[in-house]
Amino acid sequence: MSGPCREVVTLQLGHYSNFIGTHWWNLQDASLCYDPDAALGELQGDVLFREGLTLGGHVTYTPRLIAMDLKGSLQTLRQEGCLYETESKAATFTWDGQISTHRESPSTRNSFLQDLDSLDSANLLPPDRCSVTRAESGVATETVNDTLDRIQKSYKLEGSVRVWSDFLRIHLHPRTISVINQFNHDGESERLEVFGQGTVLLQGSVLEDLEDRLHFFVEECDYLQGFQLFCDLTDGFSGLGSKVTEMLQDSYGGRGVLTWGVAPVNHRDTSSIKDVFHMMNTALGTVSMANNSSLFCPLTLRGGLGRRPPPPTAFPLLNYDPELWFHSSAVLALALDAMTVSYRLRHNSAPMWQLSDALTVSGRKVVSAYGSVPFPMMHGGCLPNALDAFANVLPWRSLSACPELGDGRCFGQSVTLKGLEGRGLVSPLLPGIEPASPLHSERSGEDVLTAYIQQHYPSTPLAVQLVSSPSKVTAPFPQMFSPALNPQGFLQNHPPLPVSRPVSSLPVLTSLQSSPAAGLQLSDLQKACSALEIRRVAPSFLSHGLELSELTEAMEQLRGLALCYQHNQHHSSSDEDDD
């Protein structure tokens, strides 16, 4: 049944988080419907978006979002946006001497941004790309994003994306972007590289600015369910994230705090010392943010969290370049679009604290993510056939650098299948015909998926949700899909055509798991960090406010967190032996 809208405030801390967040918001915006006469969708947009009014009288619909990044990271994007422009105030000068003017060349705008500007200025459409216009006589007005979807122009931005604003297709509220001017996005000096820098950053003007932005978004919520954070794990933002989650826990106790610690496959500037920094930041950020969050999930396509990880995660139907942030962040955003469904549903939603409570029993705050991106299903096929095709292998790949153990042990799991709109969820059984497999006997999509998961995890507490609407991968989402897919993201029954239409939507299957595999991952990370003689290998890591005693204590906490998973596993084994 439908209840009140439970709002969520999103925070994005760091440049890679903002890459993922930009794809995420583009996906959310592509799924919004501005037609006042259209049927309500399965997902409730008001959970993530807020309504406002411009000076020109246009009703805006913008993300309830705070995005933090460093000086020089915005390029063509104005920090205050352009939805609520006011007349510029004339500056008053008291200097009566000579004045010299130095004009900086504007950043180059790629083809996608140029087209957005042209559509915005055409005056045929509402001036804001993420807005609702009060249509007369019940006739919906086409928005800029409607036009982008209709013309289906394909953009190849792989060579022109430098920062996340290079592919942002929506307008943001003036209170959204917070620039940390103490540190530079590029260059050799004043870089936010280590955990300690981030922990001491949240004070003074930075703290006041964040509190003001939080109060603005929170105070207009009627039923705030909590916060979702995307936070960079491998640089100083991990320290900032630890303080932000601590502040949220102290100031908004009882609300859910779901934290996704994100890491790219590669870094643009790296060295052996910086590899040490990245691993230590990841370990410290994981244990700190897990302690202060309802749930913490690492998100990365790296093969591991250490200094020399295995190859990145590969997906059979994606031709993505793991070295490109534009690509890897797109994959993770697609997975997030499915994994966060449960607390965004219009009917029968499970608030975020319910999701976290189910997965974080006995202090196991760290969970692992897995995804089938996209979920491989034949056009015209049915779900039982698609799942049976995997035989004894699960269809998903790790999104947390944490391979499954394959022994059927799991403390809790939340599985979401998104995007089988109008497809066969059950087998079309004919009278007198024996079902091809047990899955073909099930009579609902939820039962099919539940039965399949229980073949691999027979005694695991399980929550399953199916959402029919797919993820809409409209421009400028990268077209990195296998030619075997049709425009709806399903496998074609015939060989790929020489020239095919771009993929516009995708089915996605994801799983969030609390399992012994996470405990092994945390234990390996703790051992790798503790084995380093940090004062000899990277002495500068301790020169930014972090004491050696604090580092030692954090490593002990990480070891204790890993034991939460081993301890339960040990008792489970003993119980089974006693039986």
Dihedral angle of Cα 523, 525, 530, 534, to the nearest 10 degrees: -170
pLDDT score of 196: 93
pLDDT score of 152: 65
- Residues ≥6 apart with Cβ < 8 Å to 146: 34
Tokens encoding 452: 């399949």
Using left for φ > 0, alpha for ψ between -120 and 50, and beta otherwise, residue 254 falls in left
Q: CB burial class (10 A; 0-12, 13-18, 19+) of residue 493? A: exposed
pLDDT score of 32: 86
CA atoms of 384 and 448, how far apart (whole Å): 7
CA atoms of 504 and 226, how far apart (whole Å): 31
pLDDT score of 431: 75
Do residues 46 and 61 make contact, with C-beta atoms less than 8 angstroms apart? no
Alpha helices per DSSP H over 200-324: 204-219, 237-251, 272-292
Q: 17: helix, coil or strand? A: helix
- Give the number of other Cβ atoms within 10 Å of residue 527's Cβ: 14
Alpha carbon 547 to its chain centroid, in Å, reads 32
CA neighbor of 181 nearest in space, from 171, 172, 190: 190
pLDDT score of 124: 41
- Give the number of other Cβ atoms within 10 Å of residue 329's Cβ: 28
Residue with tokens 């698609």: 386
In this prediction, the residues of the chain whose per-residue pLDDT falls under 50 are 1, 86-91, 123-129, 131-140, 567-579
| Helical axes 111-121 vs 144-151, angle rounded to 10° | 130
Do residues 383 and 468 make contact, with C-beta atoms less than 8 angstroms apart? no
Predicted TM-score (pTM) of this structure: 0.91
pLDDT score of 73: 86
